[in-house]
Structure formats: structure tokens, C-alpha cells
Amino acid sequence: MLLALVSCRPIQFPLPATDRGNVTSPLISDTSQWQALADHAAATAGPDGQPSAGLSLRELFATDAGRADAFTYAIADLTVDLSKHPVSPDTLSLLVGLASAAGVEAKRDAMFGGERINTTEDREVLHTALRLPAGATLEVDGEDVVGPVHEVLDKMSGFADRVRSGEWVGHTGQRIRHVVNIGIGGSDLGPLMAYRSLTPYVHPDITAHFVSNVDPAQLLDTLADLDPAETLFIVASKTFTTIETISNAKSARAWLLATLGDEAAVARHFVALSTNAEGVAAFGIDTDNMFEFWDWVGGRYSMDGAIGLSLMVAVGPDNFRAMLDGFHQVDTHFRSQPLAENVPVLMALIGVWHRNFLNRPTLAVLPYCQHLDRFPAYLQQLDMESNGKRVVLDGTPVSYETGPIVWGEPGTNGQHAFYQLIHQGTTVVPADFIGFLEAAEDVGGQHDLLMANMFAQAEALAFGKSAAEVEADGATGALISHRTFPGERPSTTILADKLTPSVVGQLVALYEHKVFVQGAIWGINSFDQWGVELGKVLAKAIGNELTSPEASELTHDSSTNALINRYRAYHGR
Ligand code: G6Q
């Protein structure tokens, strides 16, 4: 049983110790631990600034036959091989020292305990409570949050079961065969990614669709083959004010009513996932058919609660709960393991090593699994929206790089496209390879070939092909340089037996906590998103200017004014 009694006091994390006399700096770069890492990077750099002297991958592997074992870690059902990174035991211990200096453990405990660590929105950050087992207790401001979480889960399960069994029918009595999740950002990417990941677990009579873009093409393409009588819309919006989602939901309702004719049909074909009951009611959805979540769940951290309803309908409550258990296993590891053996912490630290001390700006996520095709996009939001920040909690600008640019595509497609740059380009791109020992579904032994590619790529990136080897293959002249692969390109390999619901939860929680630790080290707020909020207001003003029949004076820059005028002129406004 977990019991955390939490009050609403302001957060007072230990600030980094500084080497500048009595001045206490909020910047981690002012700690002696940061400086020690900078010195270590300088002492081990070769003439090109890349790790050499004891930290080249070739040397690290040549001098330590046990390196793979020593740098491979287990977390729940995942095996994480960190050996192909330019880190020695000394590097790791300096990095762990940095995590301690940043107060990562205290910050982690504050998050799990329900303190208001999202200081700019004055909110707790409690997505980990969404996967606490029934019977656990977590009190925030004197109120238990685990009971309500399980009430919503039970309500979702009952609804999902009714849809799956055909008991919940549409307005004309037909069973629901298509579920359309209308949501964007955090209300789209998580359930979409998990739905595609768990394709083999989807109910044979139910297909889920995801509409996010306000571009009408996506809604129209999705609805083109659907029968309104068999279609259920799940309107997913934490705030229920997001213009893209509300616009798509209104258009979907008009499409439904154009065929079914009767306003009463809305109640059988629309449900909502939101924190805003008033907004849901104003839209015309019965709040009995609303599945609730709370302000303390950030959008991009919400797929394991009500926002996962489309996924639950598709894969069933048992599989959804198995996914939650996977999340919880990783939460437990993160919460209990010492920093030096804590896998999300180690992944985060290695990311900080690349980003801040080796100047590597991006991270490629390369799943060798087609079902994880949306995993890079999901991580892109998780990481870049969380850690794309430029000031620390007290508003001081950082003096160092923060979140990396995250990108990627499933292997082997990427191999025939952008891997060229990763192998021989001028930018070193750390990569995360993710693969499975067993295929979800195999045909003609293709899974063996898929995995052979993954292992071969990680090996080639790390160890390259020297000029001597190229020459030995018969190359001469300029061709020798063209065909030489420098190697020393780092990667993590994450393996699991199979992509099960639990493993999906484990993978997501692993990255959630990795992102958390990096944010904690950089001293930023990983849980707000003012850049996203800006986008939500900017378009409103220009929207009026594009559509108003009366031309009013435009007060933007000359480029924006010209673009707006061109659009208005085209439409004769
Ligand atoms: C996520 C962000 C953002 C959000 C969307 C949708 O952390 O806040 O991506 O999820 O803007 O917001 P609503 O769910 O409120 O519609």
C-alpha cells in the first residue's frame, strides 16, 4: 500500500551547489559536477572533438571483453544495452554525480508524492497515479486519487465491453464497428501509437480511426468508407476547447445527423473524454457518456487514463490493464532503484552526455517493428514538448542545451533513406534501436531478416569500416575515403521478447521517466507547454482576418499581411 500525504506548500528543491563563492545559482552548469564532466569530455576528446583517448567505442570494446554484459540492464521485460555509447565506468559515475547534484531523487519523489512540481501551472504531475493498482492509496490535499482513477477505469471497462460485445448499439440498432477518436496532440498520439502497436490484439469486428488535423481532408478521408449507423465518435479533449478537435467533432456530428436525421442519435454515437464537463454538455454530449480525468494529468501523459478509451475498446479492458501493469512495473523500478542502476536515469544521463558535453543535437528512434511506426512521433511530443524549454524554474535562462530533436522511422525503411547521414554524415546522431525476439506475426522467416538488419546497423554504426578494410576489399584512390565508415556512432539497443500490451506500457514509462530525469537535471519545467498554448491563440485572430467580409487594417509584419491578403483576394473577400 502506498500512502503519501501531501500538502500544497511551494516546492523547495535543493539548488545546485555552486563554485562561485556564496552565490547560489539555479543552473546545473554552475556545479562542480557539471565542470567535472566538461573536463572529462575535454580530456578524452580527439583532435576532431569526438571521444577518443579511452572513450572510443573500438577501444572500449577491445579492452573490456565483458563490456556488453556490464552495460546491459534489465527493467521489467526490457533489456537495455547501453554498451555502444562512449562512456567508461568513470564517465557513468561522474554522470550519476550530476544527477545527485541536480536533486533527481528528491524531484522524482516529489512527483510521485503529488507535489505541485508543474510550478507554472501550479499543478501536481501524477500520471503515475493512473497506473497504481487498485487498493493503493495516494492522497493529494487530503483526497485519495487512486479510488477515482479506478472508478473511471471500471466505467471505461464497462463501456468498452458493451461496445465490443455488441450490447451498445447505434441509434438504428446496429452494432458499432468503427470507433473514431477525435483529438489532437496528447489526446491523439498516445492512443494512436498504442493501437497500432497492439494490432494483433484488436477485436476482429472493430476498427479504430484517429482524426486530429483540422485539415478537413483527414476527417473526410476517414469518414469516406464509414457507415454512420455503425460509427462511434470519441471526442478526446482535456480542455474541450481545442479548436481542431471541436471543429472536427462538429463536422462529424453534422455528417452523422445528415444520415441518421435525429438529434437523439448523438447520445448513441458520441462520447467524450475530458476534464471539462461543462464544455462537454455544451457540445451536446450527455455527461453520463463522459469519461473523466484530472488537471494533474498532462495531455502527453494521458494515454493510460480516459484518453485511452479508443484503445481499450479496440484491444479490450484486460489488455489495457496489462498495459497499465507494464507502466507500473517501470514506475516501481524508477522509484526504487539507486541512480547507478536505474535504467531511465542511465538513459537520461547518457542523453545529457551526448547533448551537453559532446554537442549532439538529435536523437533518432528506430523501431525494428512496423507496429511501432508511430512510436517516434509519440516520443517526439513526449520529449520535445516536455523538454523544449529555455529557462529554469525561477525563470533564469539556461546556459546550456536542453531537449534534443527527436525523430525516426521504423527500420528497415530508414536504412534505404536517411541512414546514410547517420553512417557517414558530419553530424553524429545517437540512436535508439528497439526490437523484439519474436514477431507479432511472421511470414517466410522475415522476422529473422528484420532483426539481422537491426543488429547489423548498430554494429556498423559503432565500429564502421576502416580505410585499411576498404582497401583490402579492393578499393583504390578516392574510392577508399568514400567507402570508409568512421564508426563511433553511438546507439542504445532495447530488446523485449514480444510487443505485448505490458511491453507497450513499459516502453512508454521508460521514456517518460527518461524525459523527466533530463528535465530535472536541466532544472526546467517538463510539464508545461506555453509554445503549444501560443499556437492555440495565434490562429484565432488570423482566422477572423481570413474570413471576415469586411477588410480591416492588418497590423502584422509585411510578409504576414501579404499572405493574408493573397488568401482573401483568392476567395474574393
Ligand atoms: C500535451 C499538450 C497538447 C494537448 C493538445 C490537445 O501535453 O498539452 O498536445 O494534448 O493541445 O489538448 P486538449 O486535450 O485540451 O484538446
Angle at 458 between CA 457 and CA 464, to 5 degrees: 80
Mapping DSSP onto H, E and C, the string for 442-509 reads CCCCHHHHHHHHHHHHHHHHHHCECHHHHHHCCCCCHHHHHCCECCCCCEEEEEECCCCHHHHHHHHH
- Centroid of ligand 1 to alpha carbon of 330 (angstroms): 24
Residue 460 in contact with ligand 1 by CB distance below 6 A: no
Query: Looking at the predicted structure, is the pLDDT value of residue 199 above 60?
Result: yes
Number of neighbours of residue 520 by Cβ within 10 angstroms: 25
Residue type, 495: L
User: What is the pLDDT at residue 13?
Assistant: 52
Average pLDDT, the chain: 94
Output helix, strand, coil percentages for the chain, rounded to the nearest 5: 50, 10, 35
pLDDT in tens, 329-367: 999 999 999 999 999 999 999 999 999 999 999 999 999
pLDDT in tens, 101-128: 999 999 999 999 999 999 999 999 999 9
The alpha carbons of the chain give a radius of gyration, in whole angstroms, of 26
Residue environment code for 529-548, b if the CB has 16+ CB neighbours within 10 A, otherwise e:
beebeeeeeeeeeeeebeee
Residues constituting the chain: 573
Number of neighbours of residue 8 by Cβ within 10 angstroms: 12
Best of 120, 123, 125, 187 for a ligand 1 pocket test (most atoms within 8 Å of beta carbon):
187
Task: State whether residue 291 is helix, strand or coil.
Answer: strand
Residue environment code for 143-174, b if the CB has 16+ CB neighbours within 10 A, otherwise e:
eebbeebbebbebbbebbbebbeeebebbeee
- DSSP for 292-303 reads E--TTS-GGG-T
Nearest Cα neighbor of 85 from 559, 492, 539 is 492
Q: Judge whether 390 and 384 are in contact, CB under 8 Å.
A: no
Band of residue 48 on the pLDDT scale cut at 50, 70, 90:
confident
User: What is the pLDDT at residue 136?
Assistant: 96
Task: Identify the residue whose C-alpha is closest to ligand 1 atom 16.
Answer: 237
**CB-hemisphere CA count at 13 Å for 454?**
26
Nearest Cα neighbor of 435 from 362, 372, 382 is 372
User: What is the pLDDT at residue 6?
Assistant: 36
User: What is the pLDDT at residue 53?
Assistant: 83
Query: Sign of torsion, CA 270 164 212 230?
Result: negative
Residue 410 grid cell = 521504423
User: What is the pLDDT at residue 5?
Assistant: 36
Residue 305 in contact with ligand 1 by CB distance below 6 A: no
User: What is the pLDDT at residue 293?
Assistant: 92
DSSP state of 49: S
Task: State whether residue 542 is helix, strand or coil.
Answer: helix
**Ligand 1: nearest atom to the Cα of 242:** 16
- DSSP for 169-235 reads B-TTSPBP-EEEEE--GGGTHHHHHHHHHTGGGS-TT-EEEEE--SSHHHHHHHHTT--GGGEEEEE
Query: Looking at the predicted structure, is the pLDDT value of residue 14 above 60?
Result: no
**Ligand 1: nearest atom to the Cα of 184:** 6
- Centroid of ligand 1 to alpha carbon of 208 (angstroms): 20
Best of 188, 238, 309 for a ligand 1 pocket test (most atoms within 8 Å of beta carbon):
238
Residue 237 in contact with ligand 1 by CB distance below 6 A: yes
Q: By percentage, how much of the chain surpasses pLDDT 70?
A: 96
Task: Identify the residue whose C-alpha is closest to ligand 1 atom 2.
Answer: 299
- 7-11, 17-21, 265-269, 272-276: range with lowest mean pLDDT: 7-11
Residue 214 in contact with ligand 1 by CB distance below 6 A: no
User: What is the pLDDT at residue 363?
Assistant: 98
User: What is the pLDDT at residue 360?
Assistant: 97
Paired residues of 51 in beta bridges: 45
Number of neighbours of residue 136 by Cβ within 10 angstroms: 18
CA distance 138 to 133: 11
Average pLDDT of the residues in 141-147: 93
Among this protein's residues, is 536 annotated catalytic?
yes
Q: How far apart are the first and last CA of the chain?
A: 64
Paired residues of 210 in beta bridges: 181
Among this protein's residues, is 438 annotated catalytic?
no
**Ligand 1: nearest atom to the Cα of 536:** 11
Average pLDDT of the residues in 497-505: 98
Query: Looking at the predicted structure, is the pLDDT value of residue 546 above 60?
Result: yes
User: What is the pLDDT at residue 25?
Assistant: 86
**Ligand 1: nearest atom to the Cα of 183:** 16
CA distance 477 to 461: 24
User: What is the pLDDT at residue 441?
Assistant: 87
User: What is the pLDDT at residue 496?
Assistant: 98
- 15-19, 221-225, 394-398: range with lowest mean pLDDT: 15-19
- Check 115, 124, 230, 385 and give the catalytic one: 385
Task: Identify the residue whose C-alpha is closest to ligand 1 atom 1.
Answer: 299
CA distance 326 to 320: 10
Average pLDDT of the residues in 379-389: 98
Number of neighbours of residue 487 by Cβ within 10 angstroms: 17
CA distance 347 to 199: 28
Q: Judge whether 383 and 404 are in contact, CB under 8 Å.
A: yes
Comparing 54 with 518, the larger pLDDT belongs to 518
- Centroid of ligand 1 to alpha carbon of 384 (angstroms): 14
Among this protein's residues, is 469 annotated catalytic?
no
Residue 529 in contact with ligand 1 by CB distance below 6 A: yes
Query: Looking at the predicted structure, is the pLDDT value of residue 277 above 50?
Result: yes
Query: Looking at the predicted structure, is the pLDDT value of residue 442 above 80?
Result: yes
- Centroid of ligand 1 to alpha carbon of 290 (angstroms): 17
Q: By percentage, how much of the chain surpasses pLDDT 90?
A: 90
- Centroid of ligand 1 to alpha carbon of 186 (angstroms): 5
- Check 416, 540, 550, 553 and give the catalytic one: 416
- Centroid of ligand 1 to alpha carbon of 523 (angstroms): 23
Nearest Cα neighbor of 104 from 345, 296, 343 is 345
Task: Identify the residue whose C-alpha is closest to ligand 1 atom 9.
Answer: 185
User: What is the pLDDT at residue 24?
Assistant: 77
- Centroid of ligand 1 to alpha carbon of 527 (angstroms): 12
Number of H helices, E strands in the chain: 22, 13
User: What is the pLDDT at residue 536?
Assistant: 80
Region of 13 please: left (phi>0), alpha (psi -120 to 50) or beta.
beta
Task: Identify the residue whose C-alpha is closest to ligand 1 atom 5.
Answer: 185
Best of 290, 300, 380, 525 for a ligand 1 pocket test (most atoms within 8 Å of beta carbon):
300
User: What is the pLDDT at residue 23?
Assistant: 54
- DSSP for 368-399 reads S-GGGTTHHHHHHHHHHHHH---B-TTSPBPS
CA distance 351 to 345: 10
- Centroid of ligand 1 to alpha carbon of 338 (angstroms): 33
Residue 298 in contact with ligand 1 by CB distance below 6 A: yes
Residue 128 grid cell = 503515475
Number of neighbours of residue 561 by Cβ within 10 angstroms: 14
At 162, which helix (H) or strand (E)? Answer: helix 146-165
Average pLDDT of the residues in 540-566: 92
